[in-house]
Structure 1
Amino acid sequence: MTGKPAEKQTYRVEGFTCAGCAAKFEKNVQHLPGVMDAKVNFGAAKITVYGDTSKEAVEKAGAFEGLRLTEDGMRKIQEEKEPFLKRYKHVFISIMFILIAYAIPLTEAANSQLLANLSFGIAIVIGGYRLFETGLKNLFKLEFDMRTLMTIAIIGAAIIGEWGEGAVVVILFAISEVLEAYSMDKARESIRSLMDIAPQQALILRNGTEVKIDAEDIEVGDIMIVKPGQKIAMDGDIIEGASYINQAAITGESVPVRKGKGDEVFAGTLNEEGYVKVLVTKRIEDTTLAKIIHLVEEAQGEKAPSQAFIDVFAKYYTPVIMIIAFLVAIIPPLLFGGEWSVWVYQGLSVLVVGCPCALVISTPVAIVTAIGNAAKNGILIKGGVYLEELGRLKAIAFDKTGTLTKGEPVITDVVTAGEMEERELLTKMAALEYHSQHPLAHAFLKKADEMGLNYKECEVFEFQSHTGKGISGVIDGERYFLGSDDSLNPSSVDMKKLQDEGKTVIVFGTEGRPLAMVAVADEVRETSASIIGELHRMGVEQTVMLTGDHEHTASSIGKQIGVKDIKAGLLPEQKLEFVKRYMQTYGKVAMVGDGINDAPALAASTVGIAMGGAGTDTALETADIALMNDDLKKLPYIIGLSRKTLAIIKQNITFAIGIKLLALLLVIPGWLTLWIAIFADMGATLLVTLNGLRLLRIKDRK
């Protein structure tokens, strides 16, 4: 042993018909020589193989299902899809022989019943050879899945002379698998459509010449030319030009965003009107779009709690059904004098009814569809467990800065206290802040730029930073102070009024003489109050704002927004403590923050929701859910989507079990037939898949 890590290969899989077949494929690959482990992601239709083996060997392990593999990656592989008629020719040939079998007795030919049974037999062999191949292998290994049950039922039907019903069961089972595969493909389309949005080629400027090259060959540092109406192929920064960029594919925003020099753009977004040059900053596998697709596919492979429960339930359910079928077949003839042929037939029908496919598919089809729908609307949900927990939330904690507010402090008031004009005052303040690293400095510089003040030419000497108090410097021979120095003795009435409005007050003046008071505030997002109100109407019991800001500011903003509780002056570890406390009181608690300084609280909460996932690696990595467009308006939508998903999962489990129980009750009067059994099984499977696909119709209210 060299200790070398196992080689990892990921392939996309075409041809899955059911979750049970995916599990069988995974087990087959795990037993291949040289393979250390293999994981099938049924939701994303992918397999990851750890070890040393070939693509051909992996494909051979899926031969029982006719699976085909393609290389995983962002490049869309143009492969000729096998025509529908060719792929399912065995089903059509089988149907033809069944029709012939039913037509033979009408000819009144000699030995017509024998010929009809022969035709039914051919239909069973042609239509069910793949089913029998797997079913018989499983039977010899004592592995009892739905194919094992179907194989026993069909062979049993032939033994007791029910050739016609056995043949029809084969065909109906094949049709149900085709429909199930189609439904899951439909659910996966949301992620496949994401793969299609980024162009496969881009116009690159190399050595002064424009050349069109494949996206996979573009390097970091290349200059990409994007003309009006073209999609952007790679992540990068605009170095020339400006335009409105439609980012709906990444962030879910319906309104295009203006981008200019220095702004970041993402692969898959649309340049609407301008000519721009973009400096490529990431390779194709590292783009925000690639990360989203990778994380969503991983999420679709994660088992939600309800799915994990169903998997365990199905494990015990199948053997129990086999025992019930066996007892139905032997007890009435042995104890009550029933006819063996009648009750063996009833037992075989119980086996068909007992197929767990509808139950197994009931949860994943809903989870895969919902996660895909959310991704198309600019929300990254990193697993079925978080999707389910969202619908059960009782309390939501919000960070203030950058979540409920814009996170950009602005100057709101300037109260002068001397003869110096406001423009001159602000010029001197901006000149001081130009030398500062304080977070509020940006507000002064932005205000000065808006007013066109020439603060950069205002010379500052002997600049000093006074920890906890502010800054000072000599301008025109006099030392000026800017900060919270009490020695300036400002008007307490004006200061209290501004502080009561939730603003931070900064005093400007010379030694012992205040010249002005400046109020700085972090603006509340326009939508925050309406979103909090909507969450309360949806039944969220508690909303709380957790902030490191002081009490006055927190209280004012909290009242404007309408949160039920406010906790101010908190350090990151204190936010974590409050989240834990709320979880003890309310059970399920979400934390909404920026994914950086709120990381401990995000990690500890039931569901951590990060703002602004687009282009932010920290948000994508630390949170359970990322709102890609930095907009709280998505919060009620995902909670509504989660609740609808939970409702559909419950409906699906009820349908899957309820229909089968009703069919099993027909055993008591002896009315259960193989026809009814297969329709009950196929009907339940179709019902749960179509019900799960209803989640595709849930739209985000923009």
Structure 2
Amino acid sequence: MQQASKIEAIEARVHGMDCPSCAQTVQSNLHQLTGVNEVALNFGNGKLNMTYNPEKITQKDIFRRVEALGYQIESIFRKENSPSTTESAKIKNQKSKIDSLSSPWKFWLTTRRGQRVILSGTGLVLGFIAHSMGLSAWIQTSFYCIGIVLAGFPIARAGLISLKSRRADINLLMMISGVGACLLGDFLEGAMVVFLFSLGTTLQSFTLGRTRNAIRDLMDLTPPIATIKRGDEEVNVPISSIEVGEIITVRPGQRIALDGKVIYGISAVDQSPITGESVPVDKEAGDDVFGGTLNQTGYLEVKTTRKSNETTMARIIHLVEEAQGSRARSQQWVDKFASIYTPLVILLAIAIAIIPTVFFSQDMKVWIYHALVLLVIACPCALVISTPVSIVSAIGAATRKGILFKGGNSLETAGKIDILAFDKTGTLTEGLPKVLNIYSLGEQERSSILQIAASLEQRSEHPLAKAIIAEAKKQGLTLQTPHEFVAIPGKGIQAKLSDKLDCGVQDPQVASLLGKNHLLPHLNQEFYMVGNRRLFTNIPPEVSSLLAEISNLGQTPVLVGTKGGLIGIITLADGLRLEAREAVRLIETAGPKEVVILTGDSKSVAQQMVEQLGIFDYRAELLPKDKLLEIQRLQEQGIVGMVGDGINDAPALASADISFAIGRTDIALETADVVLVADDLRRLAYAISLSRKTVSVIQQNIIFSLITKALFLLLGSFGFVGLAVAVLADTGSSLLVTFNGMRLFKV
């Protein structure tokens, strides 16, 4: 029987890529290696995920191939939990790379790439000096050759690998141009070509690396070691070994290692890495805390609720990394254009080198030189990087503000919204309704009505259910167990309740077995119903009048009854978020032409809400399916965004052109295209504004790149541009596009 091949997976970080073509080159070369199965390289964050057969190829072989292409690579961790790689080593490796990118001088002086550029530039300058001093030609050429070899070696090595894999990337084109200049006897031109290209790509790599550090800074916030309580002792252990339910201790100035709930202590916690809040949040027993946040003032004991790979911070990092590597619609167009443009220009360069010399007896040296210029112009580096550098920068900026975009498409779409629809409960309101009053419509006591409603609501996830249960517990009521529970979407719930009956026994031993007060379980055969007025038929006119009065006060009525009729009404109210009015004003300024509220509440409650917020449109008394249909109707008028909490508005969120979810819940992180982790509606206006600016910057970059390429293609075809100028134009335009995109990081 044939044994299945062993497959291993690695995750690594590739440094030095300055455009998406670099990532494609690495990915293509790794795919060609024997034993490699799957390869995925994310240009946005430099993350490499791949699987391979260790019997056919080793991890060292894979890393050597990447390094041969001129890039640096470091292992993040082995997914098979290799004993050779530890979490502390991972953090150390990342930290060293981050440190080198944090200081320009350190980057240029300590990295191999920076050192090559400096030495190459030194050779070029010495050649200039030798020329100005009138030294012999061989001395000048020697200095130029030093500059060419130092800067050109990694370019030539990567170019030869690209040639072997039949892929015409920028390294191959630059190698041909540099070698061609030397063969034509112009060593100064050759030295300038490789130096300017090396300088430009290295500078671009440095600037992009600093932008990518936004996510790596987040990764570095979670401490690798935490202190846990085991009996009376405190033990330091790796966070990966801590299970849910263990107690970790956090002293002032320490970072909280894992998500959990405070069980002891009072402190202020800086949550800015997750929520973007600038002011520390007070925490005490019962409050939730998040891994990676900073404990500032007091001692805390925290009971963990998630493992290290499932924390809110870990999930945010994963989502941001996925978003940074996603391809926006504009990027797809650019890639398609580049795939046509580059081969055409290469064919044009070949034609310019051959046709004038073969058919018109022109000077071969002159026209080969013109062809080399076109080869430099053939690579659309500035164009292909115009979108990803903007997307990476904008997503990094949004993350710092507590906003998670799921990808480039959502980032581009947010700024194009024509109509923004809000779910009311938990979105525009605090989501913490309170019981205000209880009306008895028969012989039932008010406490009995509350007890029945709370007993049924134990099986419900609706925000009003939590408020009713909380009020019942506050009054010390004992809740009964619901049976045959049925939830009726958009209307309410119904169930039978088990209560207790006195068995009437006198024997003390039997009584002790039966429990306190000699009570036996008994299933009440009456179906109780709790919900809105749509759940009940034949509501008396006087009750309808009472319901109208309640709604006019801006309160939400919850009706309680049986199939025989109503027995009571519970009224609740949910206050507006403190920032809701300001948020709506900012959103209307940010771009959407119309803001509308979608709610299941009555028209009078919705009317009060829109008057308080200054919104002119609403749709009331909507079932979940009605919200979905309303979104589809609104889409006939333009691009529609939907804002909700993901709990009972998931169909509408999924149907909208772009969806926004409020909060850090699992359902919010999974459901929406954009998540406002900060739980602050005002961040929505920032997200829309950032999207509009991002689209504007992408358009600027694409237009600038196309105009620059067209201009130099025209000039190069007629011999008005030299090799050095062509390289300067190519790398210069790439740098300008990069710097323009990076401006978004500071928006």
Instruction: Work out whether the TM-score is over 0.5.
Output: yes
Correspondence for 2:698? 649
Q: Distance in 2 between matches of 1:430 and 1:341?
A: 95
1:117 corresponds to which residue? Answer: 141
Q: CA deviation at 1:160?
A: 1.8
Answering whether residue 404 of structure 2 is matched by residue 355 of structure 1, we say no
Once the two structures are TM-superposed, the CA of residue 205 in structure 1 deviates from its matched residue by 0.7
Cα pair distance change 1:56/1:430, threshold 3 Å? same
Alignment of 1:373-452 (within 5 A): 373-412=397-436, 435-437=455-457, 440=464, 442-443=466-467
- Corresponding residue to 1:78 among 51, 75, 92: 92
Give the C-alpha shift of residue 122 in structure 1. 3.7
Deviation at 1:266, TM superposition (A): 0.8
Looking at structure 1, the residues matched to 295 and 139 of structure 2 have their Cα atoms a distance apart, in angstroms, of: 68
Residue 589 of structure 1 corresponds to which residue in structure 2? 640
Paired residues of 1:239 and 1:277 also in contact (CA < 8 A): yes
Structure 2 counterpart of 1:129, from 153, 174, 179: 153
In the alignment, is the contact (CA less than 8 A) between 1:594 and 1:619 conserved in 2? yes
Against the structure 1 CA distance between its residues 692 and 441, is the aligned structure 2 distance closer, same or farther, given a 3 Å change threshold? closer
**Cα distance in 1 for residues equivalent to 2:496 and 2:278:** 43
Equivalent in the alignment of 2:48: 47
Cα gap change, 1:227/1:56 in structure 2, threshold over 3 Å: closer, same or farther? same
**Partner residue of 1:155?**
179
Once the two structures are superposed, what CA deviation does each residue of 1:457-487 show, in whole Å capped at 9, x if it has no partner? 7999x9999987999999xxxxxx9997988
Corresponding residue for 2:596? 544
Residue type of the alignment partner of 2:598: L
**Cα distance, 1:3 vs. partner?**
7.5
Aligned partner of residue 114 in structure 1, secondary structure: helix
Could you report, residue by residue, the CA deviation over 1:255-295 in whole angstroms, capped at 9, with x for unpaired residues? Answer: 33333333321101222333221111222111110111111
Q: Residues 230 and 611 from structure 1, CA distance in 2 versus in 1: closer, same or farther, beyond 3 angstroms? A: same
**What does residue 143 of structure 1 align with?**
167
Match of 2:652 among 584, 601, 617: 601
Matches within 5 A, 1:89-488: 89-108=115-134, 112-139=136-163, 141-331=165-355, 339-412=363-436, 435-437=455-457, 440=464, 442-443=466-467, 455-456=475-476
The answer to whether the Cα contact below 8 Å between 2:41 and 2:49 also exists between their aligned partners in 1 is yes
* Larger displacement relative to structure 2 (33-42 or 46-55): 46-55
Corresponding residue for residue 526 of structure 2: none
Provide closer, same or farther for how the CA distance between residues 496 and 5 of structure 1 changes in structure 2, counting only shifts above 3 A.
farther
How far residue 218 of structure 1 moved from its aligned partner, in angstroms, is 2.3
CA 1:434–1:593: 2 relative to 1, 3 Å: closer
Query: Which residue identity is paired with 1:437?
Result: E
| Change beyond 3 A, Cα 1:598–1:445 | closer
Which letter maps to 1:290? A
Q: What amino acid is aligned across from residue 104 of structure 1 in structure 2?
A: A
Helix, strand or coil: the match of 1:36?
strand
2:137 and 2:494 map into 1 onto residues whose CA distance is 102
Counterparts of 1:675-694 in structure 2, within 5 Å, are 675-694=724-743
What letter matches 1:52 in structure 2?
N
One-letter code aligned to 2:91: I
Identity among equivalent positions (%) equals 38
Match of 2:60 in 1: 56
Q: Which amino acid aligns with 2:654?
A: A
Please tell me the residue identity of whatever aligns with 1:27.
S
Structure 1 residues 536, 66: closer, same or farther in 2, change over 3 A? closer
1:421 corresponds to which residue?
A: none
User: What SS class does the counterpart of residue 457 from structure 2 fall into?
Assistant: coil
Q: Give the superposition deviation at 1:162.
A: 1.4
Instruction: Give the Å deviation of 1:517.
Output: 7.4
CA distance, structure 2, for counterparts of residue 282 and residue 473 of structure 1: 35
8 Å contact 2:493–2:530 — kept in the other structure? no
Residue 608 of structure 2 is aligned to residue 556 of structure 1: yes
Shift of 1:208: 1.2
CA contact (8 A) 1:663 1:676 kept: no
Tell me how far apart the structure 1 counterparts of residues 714 and 465 of structure 2 sit (CA, whole Å): 76
The alpha carbon displacement at 1:223 in A equals: 0.7
| Structure 1 position 663 matched with structure 2 position 718 | no
CA distance in 2 between counterparts of 1:482 and 1:310 reads: 56
Query: Residues 317-364 of structure 1: CA distance to partner in whole angstroms, max 9, x if unpaired?
Result: 111121232344445556777544333322222222333221221111
Aligned partners of 1:169, 1:411: CA distance in 2, in Å?
75
TM-score, normalising length from structure 1?
Answer: 0.86
Deviations 1:380-433 (A, max 9, x none): 111111111112222222222111222222245689999xxxxx9876765665
Please say if residues 664 and 672 of structure 1, whose CA atoms lie closer than 8 Å, have aligned partners that are also in contact.
Answer: no
Residues 105-138 of structure 1, C-alpha deviations (whole Å, 9 max, x = no match):
45545xx223423432343233201211222343
8 Å Cα contact 1:432/1:471 also seen in 2: no
In the alignment, which residue of structure 1 is the partner of 2:677? Answer: 628
Taking structure 1 as reference, are residues 6 and 633 closer, same or farther at Cα in structure 2, changes over 3 Å only? Answer: farther
Q: 1:122 to 1:518 in 2, by over 3 A?
A: closer
Distance of 2:731 and 2:539 partners within structure 1: 83
Unaligned runs of 5+ in 2: 79-86, 101-105, 487-491, 500-528
Structure 2 CA distance for aligned equivalents of residues 487 and 547 of structure 1: 22
TM (norm. structure 2) is 0.82
Change (3 A) 1:246 1:448: farther
TM-aligned CA deviation for residue 491 of structure 1 = 7.5
One-letter code of the match for 1:368?
Answer: V
Question: Secondary structure at the residue paired with 2:575?
Answer: strand
Instruction: Look up the match of 1:673.
Output: 722
Which residue in the other structure is 2:522 paired with?
A: none
1:477 aligned partner: none
Contact map agreement 1:26 1:38 (CA 8 A) in 2: yes
| Residue equivalent to 1:67 | 72
Unaligned runs of 5+ in 1: 419-423, 475-480
Q: How many Å separate the matches in 1 of 2:495 and 2:158?
A: 77
Check the 8 A contact 1:395/1:540 in 2, yes or no: yes
Is the CA contact (8 Å cut-off) linking 1:55 and 1:69 kept in structure 2?
no
Indicate if the aligned counterparts of 2:641 and 2:658 stay in contact, CA closer than 8 A: yes
Deviations 1:211-269 (A, max 9, x none): 22232332322211122333211111222233333222112223333333333211012
**Distance in 1 (alpha carbons) for counterparts of 2:610 and 2:3:** 60
Aligned partner letter, 2:92: Q
- Equivalent residues of 1:432, 1:473 under 8 A apart: no
Residue type of the partner of 1:131? I
Deviates more, 1:495-504 or 1:310-319: 495-504
Q: 1:559 to 1:5 in 2, by over 3 A?
A: farther
- Tell me the distance in 1 between the aligned counterparts of 2:493 and 2:539: 14
CA distance in 1, matches of 2:611, 2:220: 45
Match of 2:21 in 1: 20
2-structure distance, mates of 1:653, 1:431: 65
Contact 2:438 2:450 in 1 (8 A): no
* Code of the aligned partner of 2:457: Q
What SS does the corresponding residue of 1:78 show, helix, strand or coil?
helix
Give SS of 1:630's match: coil
Query: CA separation of 1:149/1:415 partners in 2, compared to 1, >3 Å: closer, same or farther?
Result: same
Question: d(CA) in 2 for partners of 1:697 and 1:656?
Answer: 23
Q: Between Structure 1 and Structure 2, how many residues are aligned?
A: 681
Rounded Cα–Cα distance in structure 2 between residues aligned with 1:102 and 1:378:
52
Judged with a 3 Å threshold, the aligned counterparts in structure 2 of structure 1 residues 19 and 517 are, in CA distance, closer, same or farther, namely closer
